[in-house]
Amino acid sequence: MKTFYDFEATDIQNQTVNMKDYEDHVVLVVNTATKCGFAYQFEGLQKLYEDYKDKKFIVLGFPSNQFANQEPGDLESIKTTCAINYGVGFPLFSKTLVKGDDIHPLFDWLTSEKGGFPSRKIKWNFTKFLIDRNGNVVKRFAPTKKPEKLRKSIENIL
């Protein structure tokens, strides 16, 4: 049976990151887009990261341009926008396919573990997956669920 730790992805610095690097952490995986109406959530995600990082909690942002072309920039512009406009200090990854025939294996696994309604596909930016310290997906949150509303779920598994 696969867990989160069986996957790898390319970070925004174009380096391969093994998810095993986050073993024993509580992880929140989010598909992001800097031009999305939900981009204000970057600030809330950063706040969660700052508040819980000492308890081995981490947010991982995966930019995706698959929803209304809301992440059209290159990696440098994504990194700059996230840092300057939203103060993002949590790890960001390279642009990732989160749906479709060429879906990244991590997102294929995440969506098969916790499907949405009416299908398992990610429907928009800022879909969030909460992963426990054993690498299992515990919850999936809709894009409309604000980061501050995740606190109880995060604290329950910290």
Domain boundaries, the chain: 4-157
Q: What is the third-level CATH fold of 4-157?
A: Glutaredoxin (3.40.30)
What pTM, to 2 d.p., does this model score?
0.96
Active site includes 82?
Answer: no
- Distance CA(93)–CA(104), nearest Å, equals 12
The tens place of each residue's pLDDT in the chain, 158 residues long, gives: 899 999 999 999 999 999 999 999 999 999 999 999 999 999 999 999 999 999 999 999 999 999 999 999 899 999 999 999 999 999 999 999 999 999 999 999 999 998 766 677 899 999 999 999 999 999 999 999 999 999 999 999 99
Q: Greatest CA separation found in the chain? A: 40
Active-site residue (options: 9, 36, 58, 130): 36
